Amino acid sequence: MWLCDLDGTLVDSFPAHDAAFRQAIAELVPDRLPGFRYTDHAGASTATVAAVLTGDPDLAGRLARRKQELYREYAASGRVRPFPGARRLLDRLAATGRQAYLVTSGSRGSVERALAACALGDVFRDVITSDDVPVSKPDPRFYGLACDRWGVDPAEAVALEDSAHGVASAVGAGLATFHVHTAEPLFGAVAAGTLDDIVSLLEVDQ
């Protein structure tokens, strides 16, 4: 079983997330904008990031909702695209009898729009989003709850991640973890380079 992250792993959504956060922050908490760096939060849920930025539950909720609204508009307008090799990898997993599941900190509404925009909505056996679990990456329970839901032993699963938050969650839950789009993997993970590199590994494994 392969448990795949979405943002930054299979789809190039970083610019859209960054722009949506910046616009929402500029509208609601402009004093926080100068110190905001989306890279510091990549892999965490929007609600978690909003809570960290504001420290106020009501304001955090408003900020998260506005950011999600903007991101979904960006995704629908074509500003979120699949990385080269994403569809090829998922098709290869299916062709070799490996089940692919999506494990993402995105909200369900945002994830559905990104999958539709990238024509990836039909390739996952099931999906877990931040709306489905009470924790967020980097908490290992995020992947642990996914494994519990699908009845899989973490020791028999493979995670595909791109961010420090995601790698920490997957490794902490005991999954073998590919760290993609990097030459220097984080502790406990294996560098995978590009998605096409993983496809090549799967072809050699046959």
Taking the C-alpha atoms of residue 89 and residue 84, their distance in angstroms, rounded to an integer, is 10
User: Does this model's pTM top 0.85?
Assistant: yes
Which tokens in the block code for residue 152? 């899989």
**Burial environment of residue 19 by CB neighbours within 10 A (0 to 12, 13 to 18, 19 or more):** middle
Per-block average pLDDT, block size 10, for the chain (206 residues)? Answer: 97 97 98 94 92 96 97 96 96 94 96 95 94 94 96 96 96 97 94 93 74
Pick the CATH number of 2-12+82-205 from 3.30.1330.10, 3.40.190.10, 3.40.50.1000, 3.90.1300.10: 3.40.50.1000
Q: What are the distances in angstroms from CA 17 to CA 34, 75, 79, 89, 192?
A: 17, 9, 10, 24, 24
* The pLDDT of residue 183: 87
The β-bridge partners of 81 are 12
The domain spans of the chain are: 2-12+82-205, 14-76
Give me the numbers of helices (H) and strands (E) for the chain, helices first please: 8, 8
